[in-house]
Amino acid sequence: MGLTLSQKILAAHAGKDYVEPGELINCKVDLALANDITAPVAIQEFNKIGVDRVFDPDRVVLVPDHFVPNKDIKSAEQAKMLRDFSRRYGLTNRFDVGTMGIEHCLLPEQGLVGPGDVVIGADSHTCTYGALGAFSTGVGSTDLAAAMATGEVWFKVPAASKFTYYGKRRPWVSGKDLILYTIGKIGVDGALYQSMEFGGEAISSLSMDSRFTMANMAIEAGAKNGIFPVDEITLQYIKGRLKRDYRIFTADPDAEYVAEYEFNLDEIEPQVAFPHLPSNTKGISEAAGLTIDQVVIGSCTNGRLEDLRVAAQILQGRQVHPEIRLIVFPGTQQIYLDALREGIIETLISAGAAVSTPTCGPCLGGHMGILAKGERALSTTNRNFVGRMGHPESEVYLCSPAIAAASAVLGRIGSPAELGLKEVD
C-alpha cells in the first residue's frame, strides 16, 4: 500500500520506511515555533526540564505578534519573556517590533520553512506551511517545550482526504473562496485529525499566497494539516529565500485516502461565511446586501502582498463608505514596505482605510478593532466564533480581500462586480 504525502514526510522524519494512520511515532522536527501568547507557557515548562540549551538555536523561533505592539502590562510582560529567552539561549531568528510580522506570514517570507519539513508551532494555524509541501501542524505549549529541548515530538499519523479542484476560476474567486467553499461542503469536523491533500489542475495555477490561505484554514475543517504538492510555483517562491537543503516528497499513486472530493471551479462564486462557524458559507449572490460596521483586511490568512494589491485595485479612486471602519493589517514589515513602494498604502489611506503595523490585532479579539455589542464585521481572518472579535453579541463574517474591499465601499456586503470592476490578472 502506498503512502500519502504527509505519511511520506512523517516516515522520513521518524526514520521509517512506512507509517500507517493511527500509528504513534516519534519525529525529528525542522522548526519549533511559538508566539507571545503560547511561548510563555512553553518557556515555563522548558525551564522545568532542567536543560541548559535548546536543541538548535537556528530552529527554535519565537515571534511576538498577537498583542504586539503591546496593548497592556500583561502583554508587555509576555513579550519580554520571549526576548529574555531568545537572548539567553542565543536564538538566531529574533523578531520584535519593527522587524516582526504575523508569524505565519513571516516564516515563509524569511525562508525558515521549506518543502519536506516537519514544523510544529504552538498555534493552530501553523498548518499554513503545508502550502510549501511541508508537514506543519499546531501543538500544545507543553509539547513545544519538549521539542525545544529535544528536537523531537510524537505524532499519531493522520489519515488523509484528497481534495481535487478543476475548471476555471470565476472572477474575483481566490484561494480564500475555495477553502471557505470546501469547509462549507464538508463541515468544521469534516477532516477531523486528517491530512487535507490539495491538488488538481486548478491548484497548479493558484498563486502561493492563495495556497498559504487554503493551508492556513485546514484547521477550520478539523484537519491535522493541509498540504500541497511541490511544483514550479513553489520552487520559484523558495528560490533565493530558503538557504538550506530541502527534500521534495510526492504521494504514491496507490496512496489510500479515507475520502476523495472533487470541486468544479466553474460552480464556485465568491464566498462569505456567516456567524458563527467558518462552515456556514453562502455565495456572494445570497450574502449581498447585509449591512456591516467594520471591515478588516489582513491576518495570517489574508495579509499578504497579493491580498493588499487586490484591495488597492478595488479602492483605487473610491472612498470607504462613511458608515464603515476599514482596518488593514499587512502581514509583515516587508509586505508593508513592498506595499508602500507599489503605492498600495497610499491608495488604501486615500480611500479612508486605517493601516496598522503587522499584528494579529482584532482577529482574536485582541486589540485595534474590537467590536461592540450588536456590531458586524466583515473580515478576511479565519474564524468567526461567538465573541471572536469582541463582544459576544457581535458578529463576524469571513470573506476574501476582494469582497472585503468592495463591501467597504458599498457599505454592505457586496461584490466588486457591483462597482463595475473586472478582475486584473
Residue 346 phi, psi (nearest 5): -60, -40
In this structure, is the dihedral angle defined by the CA atoms of residues 330, 336, 341 and 346, taken in order, positive or negative? positive
Long-range CB contacts (within 8 A, 24+) of 11-17? 12/116, 12/247, 12/249, 13/118, 13/135
Domain ranges for the chain: 5-262, 271-414
Report the C-alpha gap between 110 and 116 in whole angstroms. 17
Q: What is the mean pLDDT of residues 4-25?
A: 96
pLDDT interval class at 16 (50, 70, 90): very high
pLDDT interval class at 208 (50, 70, 90): very high
Say what percent of the chain tops pLDDT 90. 92
pLDDT tens sequence across 357-396: 999 988 888 899 999 999 999 999 999 999 999 999 999 9
Q: What is the mean pLDDT of residues 233-260?
A: 94
- Partners of residue 24 on adjacent β-strands: 156
pLDDT interval class at 425 (50, 70, 90): low
Distances (CA, A) of 250 to 85, 115, 198: 37, 11, 12
Do the Cβ atoms of 5 and 250 come closer than 8 Å?
Answer: yes
Specify the pairing of strand 271-273 against strand 281-283.
antiparallel
Distances (CA, A) of 261 to 133, 176, 185, 194: 20, 18, 10, 14
Instruction: Tell me what pLDDT residue 243 has.
Output: 85
Copy the grid coordinates of residue 50: 532542567
Q: Considering only CA atoms, which of 345, 363, 367 is closest in space to residue 354? A: 345
Question: DSSP letters of 280-315?
Answer: -EEEHHHHTT-B-SEEEEEHHHH-SHHHHHHHHHHH
Query: Count of residues for the chain?
Result: 425
Q: What is the mean pLDDT of residues 60-78?
A: 93
pLDDT tens sequence across 18-48: 999 999 999 999 999 999 999 999 999 999 9
Report the C-alpha gap between 77 and 272 in whole angstroms. 37
Q: What is the mean pLDDT of residues 112-139?
A: 96
Domains 5-262 and 271-414 share a fold: yes
Question: What's this model's pTM, rounded to 2 decimal places?
Answer: 0.94
Query: Any idea which fold 5-262 has?
Result: Aconitase; domain 3 (3.30.499)
Instruction: Tell me what pLDDT residue 287 has.
Output: 93
Query: Any idea which fold 271-414 has?
Result: Aconitase; domain 3 (3.30.499)
pLDDT tens sequence across 309-327: 999 999 999 999 999 999 9
pLDDT tens sequence across 270-285: 999 999 999 999 999 9
Please determine, for residue 424, whether its predicted confidence score (pLDDT) is greater than 70: no
Question: DSSP letters of 360-388?
Answer: -GGGGT-SSSPBPTT-EEEESSS---TTT
Q: What is the mean pLDDT of residues 351-355?
A: 97
